[in-house]
Amino acid sequence: MARGTFLLTYGVIFVSALIVSRDGQAEDNSAKVREARTACLAGDYTLGVRLLSELFVSSKDPGFIYNQARCFEQNRRYEDAIGRFHEYLRAGKKLSAEEKADAEKHIADCKELLASEKPQAVPPPLASQPETEKATAAEKPLTTVHQTNPVAGSPGLRTSGIATTSAGGAVLVAGIVFNLKSNSLAQDLKKTDGYTSGKESDRKTYATLAWLSYGVGAACVATGAILYLLGSRSDGEGTVALLPSFAPGQAGAVLKGAF
């Protein structure tokens, strides 16, 4: 009788201890679940996933793997989340069709979000023109279009022509003056006692200046006339330069420019 009472008392104590142990473990797991959930929502997915791993190791419940995947998904770690969802489907051998469909839906969503975050591929450069097209293009005749502008007068050339002619006229007048002075000195030299070496030198100088003035003046007048005529027919303004030209025994002017 005493032995039976002892065994009954021992059994009650063992069962009571077992119940207390399970209750303590349940409370510990509940605290870890809350801590893991808080960490995931706060962005500390490393801590959250670690706590969920400890819970899975101690309970072998695949639901904690699912929660790991959700923690990664909430923190935009889509590649890690996809891997955890696949592990959940592998470890959960007794999952219902609804639970499997839910995991597959999360996998599809993560893949879509992952693709949207990747930079768009830069399109390759356009391929060079094929040789056949190049040959065809080379065989096509080239059409040259010549645009003819209407002929219009150029006020610039006409103005240059008038100015050059006026300058030539002034030079011709100077030549006449030099010639008159040369002739006057020649008359003085013919008088009795009128010859001096100084007068003879001045006469030659005036004669030379007169011929130079005639040459340059005539060239300017001719050039001015040409410019005026070209300005009446040309449609573009020209650039003209009148350069004097001297040579032994002669003088003139050279017209240089583009019309």
In a domain, 229, yes or no: yes
What is the pLDDT, as a whole number, of residue 62? 93
* pLDDT score of 210 more than 80: yes
Residues 170 and 246 in one domain: yes
In a domain, 162, yes or no: yes
Residues 100 and 176 in one domain: no
What is the pLDDT, as a whole number, of residue 21? 46
* pLDDT score of 7 more than 70: no
pLDDT tens figures, 89-122: 999 888 999 999 999 999 999 999 999 987 766 6
What is the pLDDT, as a whole number, of residue 232? 75
What is the pLDDT, as a whole number, of residue 65? 95
Predicted TM-score (pTM) of the model is 0.40
Q: Residue 232 sits in which domain range?
A: 155-258
Number of domains in the chain: 2
In a domain, 5, yes or no: no
Calculate the average pLDDT of the chain.
Answer: 76
What is the pLDDT, as a whole number, of residue 184? 85
What is the pLDDT, as a whole number, of residue 141? 54
* pLDDT score of 193 more than 90: no
Query: Of 99-103, 119-123, 179-183, 211-215, where does mean pLDDT reach its minimum?
Result: 119-123
- What is the DSSP secondary-structure string of the chain? -HHHHHHHHHHHHHHHHHHHHHHHHHHHHHHHHHHHHHHHHTT-HHHHHHHHHHHHHHH--THHHHHHHHHHHHTT-HHHHHHHHHHHHHH-TT--HHHHHHHHHHHHHHHHHHHHHSPPPPPPPPPPPPHHHHHHHHHSPPPP----PPP---HHHHHHHHHHHHHHHHHHHHHHHHHHHHHHHHHHHHSTT---HHHHHHHHHHHHHHHHHHHHHHHHHHHHHHHHHHHHH-SS--EEEEEEEEETTEEEEEEEEE-
* pLDDT score of 10 more than 60: no
Residues 106 and 179 in one domain: no
Q: Among 93, 116, 139, where does a domain finish?
A: 116
Confidence grade of residue 18 (pLDDT, cut at 50, 70, 90): very low
